[in-house]
A and B are shown apart, each in its own frame.
Chain A
Amino acid sequence: MSEKLLEIKDLHVHYETDEGTARAVNGINLELKPGECLGLVGETGAGKTTTALGILRLVPDPPGRITGGEILFRGENLLNKKEREMRRIRGNKISMIFQDPMTSLNPVFSVGRQIAENVSLHQNVSIKKGMSRAREMLELVEIPGSRVHDYPHEFSGGMRQRVLIAMALACNPALLIADEPTTALDVTIQAQVMEIIKGLMKQINTSLIMITHDLGVVAEVSERVAVMYAGQLVEIGPLRDIFTDHKHPYTIGLFGSIPDIDDRESTRLTPTKGLMPDAMELPEGCPFHPRCPEAMEKCSRETPQSVEIKPGHFVSCFLFS
């Protein structure tokens, strides 16, 4: 179907180290429509960032390697592209913003110049044209255009993250991947940045993959939510289904871990016991079964397939198949 912007089919990414193979991403299937916002949720080591880097073919190699699957962007498999072709896609049609706004900007160039160079590189326009685009973009993220000549150290953390958003969107990408864009920021600053992202998503027709461990952030921008655990998607569905009617035992534990400020009654959190398995020693069968309160004998033998339990709401768990 032509209305899919991105389609990931059975993606596998492994890291080969001296100690063995870490299976960071194990068979992910994901689709994204144009203009859609998807929240990709999971804890440290679940494989969220690796998935994102995989889409951009930026998995550090060595030790990382994409060992299988397809990534179709507008119907073309990115995994078959030459490095030169990928460079034309990165920062242009697919952009990414990272967690740490401090290290993502080059301290020796003004922010305007950094944006302008990106624009002139991808769109074949002069630096001067690029600068006026930079000014326009800064104003879009509510930074006065007069600050295009300022250097990164002259901005605060929250403003730097906004500059990065401006830079990522300067070439009108079809897809923006945001990797924990607000994690390093204070709550009130995070609110500013989230407000800007939300506003921008309404204005421009860019798809967003919001990677985060914070379900509160997901609730604000996403239309659909995908929950990752140990390199696999355990549950994916519309925002409301995932937040009010989550089915996978891991998702239930995840929501049980979060103090809900609006819930005045509960006095205790109900997290899943134990730890996520090491990517080098993933258990047989369902990766969650050693921690799962509902584990059955079957779970340690076979890997569950994704089952559609409601329109658009998929769960990978034997309880539902």
Chain B
Amino acid sequence: MATEATTVKKAAVARKQRTRFQETWRRLRKNRWALAGLTMIVLLGLVAIFADFIAPYGYNEQNYFRILEGPSRDNFLGTDNLGRDVFSRIVHGSRLSLSIGFITTSIGLTVGGFLGAVAAFYGGRVDNLIMRFMDIILAIPGFIFAIALVSALGPSLTNLMIAVGINTIPYFARIIRSSVMSTKENEFIEAARVIGSSDLWIIFKHLIPNSLAPILVQATLRIGDTIIIASGLSFLGLGAQPPLPEWGALLSAGRGYLRVAWWMATFPGVAIMVTVLAFNLLGDGLRDALDPRLKN
């Protein structure tokens, strides 16, 4: 009914000669919550990068004269059972938690993305094989799967990342599969075939770049999730080993002292919450900004 209105709009977009990135950014900027999320993530990133300058103490700097002290001017988030500064440990820990988030998500994204794209592109038996395998991974509760894997490989940060990474593969595979399936219907895929392009060329040059929008959203949301799972595993002692100040490990260590030193567990918990919230806000905002149906 409003065909003319939409052509007018299309013309308007064309006139300003914006790239899609600029267009997305313009719409993201209008979303206050997404912007707040983005700001928090940028701040967290800066904290992680400049941790050595921000933290007043080293992450394993023990002071036996100040054990389990509450927030004060010297240790404004208090100290732990070995007299370490909780604030400094959280600041150093941001490096670990954020890199866990990014690395595990990258594992899921690359492996899952490739599998999903291949499944969608070839369809039929290949699709069936890959996607049923993904279903099997999904059928095992993620947390238990990670516990089993880490127990088998031995608890360490690397194994933790592998375990959580594998866990996220099916989510990416599914998203990318459905995204590629709809991209595949476009005539430009046939147009690429007509000039003699190989399958890999089509997948990497056409299908994946055009399916990136939902992947970006999913990746952002997944980072938050993986941080939570990783923290949970570390909480159970299956991830980062002492004295590494991974947030989940901090939370776990603080658990024993909840009655005498509430700050030991509370502040790492808040850090996890804020980070996950930030990624979720940004992810939701990106989803709206990238959705062409919500153009405004």
Interface stretch of the complex, out of B4-12, B140-148, B188-196: B4-12
Contact between chains at B12 and A18 (CB < 8 Å): yes
Q: Are the C-beta atoms of A50 and B15 separated by less than 8 Å?
A: no
Contact between chains at A19 and B15 (CB < 8 Å): yes
The one of A20, A49, A58 in contact with B3, judged by C-beta atoms closer than 8 angstroms, is: A49
Q: Which residue of B lies closest to A180 (CB)?
A: B3
Q: Closest approach, in angstroms, between the C-beta of B235 and any C-beta of chain A? A: 48
| Known pairs A18-B12, A278-B15, A281-B15; A45 contacts B7 (CB<8 A) | yes
**A63 interface contact, C-beta 8 A:** yes
Query: Is the CB–CB distance between A15 and B16 below 8 Å?
Result: no
Q: In the complex the two chains form, what is the Cα distance from A53 to B225 in whole Å? A: 49
Contact B12 A19 (CB under 8 A): yes
CA distance A45 to B11 in the complex (A): 10
A22 at the binding interface (Cβ < 8 Å): yes
Q: Known contacts A49-B3, A53-B1: does B8 contact A17 (CB below 8 Å)?
A: yes
A98 contacts B by Cβ under 8 Å: yes
Identify the closest chain B residue to A53 (Cβ). B1
Whether, in the assembled complex, A293 has its beta carbon less than 8 Å from a beta carbon of chain B, the answer is no
Q: From DSSP, what is the main secondary structure of chain B's interface residues?
A: helix
A98 and B8 in contact, given A19-B15, A19-B16, A281-B15 (Cβ under 8 angstroms): no
User: A279 — which chain B residues lie within 8 A by C-beta?
Assistant: 8, 11
Question: What separation, in Å, do the CA atoms of A47 and B11 have in the docked complex?
Answer: 14
Query: Is A280 an interface residue, CB under 8 A from the partner?
Result: yes
Residues in A with CB closer than 8 Å to B1 are: 53, 58, 60, 98
Q: How far is the CB of A316 from chain B (nearest CB, A)?
A: 21
Chain B residues with CB below 8 A from A99, complex form: 3
Contact at B5–A15, with CB atoms within 8 Å?
Answer: yes
| B3 proximity list for chain A (CB < 8 A) | 49, 99
Interface pair A44/B7, CB less than 8 Å apart:
yes
B15 contact set on A, CB distance < 8 A: 19, 278, 280-281
Q: Tell me whether B2 and A22 are in contact (CB under 8 A).
A: no
* Cα distance A44–B16 in the bound complex, in angstroms: 20
Residues from 50 to 82 in A contacting B, C-beta threshold 8 Å: 50, 53, 58-60, 63-64
Taking a contact as CB atoms under 8 Å apart, the answer to whether A49 and B4 are in contact is yes
Closest 8 CB pairs of A and B: A19-B12, A22-B8, A49-B4, A60-B2, A278-B11, A50-B4, A15-B8, A17-B12
Given contacts A50-B4, A281-B15, 6 further A-B contacts (CB under 8 A): A15-B5, A19-B12, A22-B11, A63-B5, A280-B11, A280-B15
A-B contact pairs, 17 of them (CB 8 A): A15-B8, A15-B9, A18-B296, A19-B12, A19-B13, A19-B15, A22-B11, A22-B12, A24-B8, A45-B11, A47-B4, A48-B4, A49-B3, A50-B4, A63-B8, A278-B15, A280-B15
